[in-house]
Every structure is written in structure tokens, then in C-alpha cells.
Amino acid sequence: MGDPGPDAVKVTDLCAGIGGFSRAVQMAGGRVVYAMDRNAAAKPVYDANRGVGAELSTRDLYTSEMWEELAASGAGMVVTGPPCTESTSARLVRADKGERREGRAALTPLLVHQLTQMQMPLVVLENVVSIESMTRGQEAFALARERGYHICFLRLYASDFGPPYQRRRLFVVMARGGTEVRDALAQMSLQFPQWTAASRSAV
């Protein structure tokens, strides 16, 4: 993709993986100025497809260096899709294989806490729908509201957007601002595609 220009929105992609969210940002006209994922195996693929965006940093969310790099990037928006295995039915299968990793379900609350503490203007978070009803998720989003954020929850079936499988996802948009921001998020929720019985039965 070409250079979005000097006026493009500066965006950070946390838990970037091989770059799906970064790709979406670039398609929307944004510039990825910082991207990280602790999995070093993702770096060659991410960097090969990053276009004019930043190279992938193999930092860890639990290190101060990562947050310092994020602050120094000048990004005004963060997109993130943290690993969520412990919040899904897949965790039961992996637990039987001895592969369960403790701590993944804590990544979303950690991100919400840190990003709202640093007053990031706009955050878009993708996860499983159950995170909205989990105690840790509810506490994290309540904290975000206390810190002045308006929040919009957008739920979708992946099959409504082309993929031939049933997978429910939750997108959380958190934004700082006054009534204009609140009203814009409310309107976004109304305009977002709704789950349809036809799309689910066709998969």
C-alpha cells in the first residue's frame, strides 16, 4: 500500500500477530507507527507485509519498555486483538493436552487499564464476546468509564463478512471526549451490521 501522507492518523497495533489489524488500519488510510507482538515467529510475516508501516517490535506487554515505546510513537489511536484462549471453549481442549497458559484472559483488562491510564484518545479492541460479561472485563470497562471514556460494544458473526465459519466476535470502541463522541459511538452501534439467521444457517 502507498504512503497515507503526513496527515494520516497515527495508530499503534498491540498484539499485532501477522498484521491483520494493521492491514485494516492501512486500508482505512491510517499510518501504523508502532506495532508489537511478543511472538518472534510472527515478525518475518508481519514485516514482509507491513508496507510503509512500522516494523514489528517483539516486546512484551508486561515490560515498561513496551509502554515507553508506545508513548514515544505519538500514536493517537490503538488497535488490539489480544490472545483470548482462556475466555473460549478452546481452552478446555488445550487444557486436556496440557497446553493451557495462565494469564491470557488477563490481557484485555491489562490493556484497558494501561491505555486509559495514559489517556489514549481512541482504542479499538477485538475479542471474544464473553469478555463483556466476565467479571474482569466488566471491571475494566467500568474503570474506563470512570476515566472519562465512552464505550461502544459491536458484536458480529464472522460469516456475515465472508469467512465460511461461525465465529462470534466483539469489537469494543473506547473514546475520550464530550457529548459529540458519545453520540457518534451510539450512532455507530445503530449502523453496525446485525447478526442474521440467514448468514448463520448458510455456514
The CATH code of the domain at 83-203 is 3.40.50.150
DSSP bridge partners of 126: 171
The pLDDT of residue 36? 96
* Residue 49 φ/ψ, nearest 5 degrees: -115, 10
From the list 163, 147, 162, 156, the residue with the least C-alpha distance to 112 is 147
Averaged pLDDT for residues 17-42: 94
80 phi and psi, to 5 degrees?
Answer: -160, 140
Contact yes or no for 90/107 (Cβ under 8 A): no
Q: What global pTM score does this model have?
A: 0.82
Boundaries of every domain in the chain: 1-80, 83-203
Options 36, 84, 111, 172, the catalytic residue: 84
Q: Is 15 a catalytic residue?
A: no
In whole angstroms, give the CA distance from residue 49 to residue 38: 18
Given this model, what pLDDT does residue 104 score? 60
Domains 1-80 and 83-203 share a fold: yes
Q: Are strands 77-80 and 10-14 parallel, antiparallel or unpaired?
A: parallel
Torsion sign over Cα 79, 171, 184, 21: positive
Q: Please give the share of the chain, as a percent, with pLDDT higher than 70.
A: 80
Q: What DSSP letter does each residue of the chain carry, written as one string?
A: -----TTSPEEEEES-TTSHHHHHHHHTT-EEEEEE-S-GGGHHHHHHT-TTSPPEE---TTSHHHHHHHHHHT-SEEEE----GGGSTHHHHHHHTT---TTGGGHHHHHHHHHHHTT-SEEEEEE-GGGGTSHHHHHHHHHHHHTTEEEEEEEEEGGGGS-SS--EEEEEEEEE-SHHHHHHHHHHHHHSPPP-HHHHHT-
Architecture of domain 1-80: 3-Layer(aba) Sandwich (3.40)
Measured CA to CA, the distance from residue 179 to residue 186 in angstroms comes to 10
At 101, the pLDDT band (50, 70, 90 cuts) reads very low
Q: Is the pLDDT of residue 203 over 70?
A: no
- Per-residue pLDDT for 63 more than 50? yes
Q: What is the pLDDT of residue 193?
A: 60
Retrieve residue 161's grid coordinates: 463478512
Residue pLDDT, tens place only, 113-169: 999 999 999 999 999 888 888 899 999 999 999 999 999 998 888 777 777 777 888
Nearest residue to 25 (alpha-carbon basis) of 155, 187, 69, 16: 16
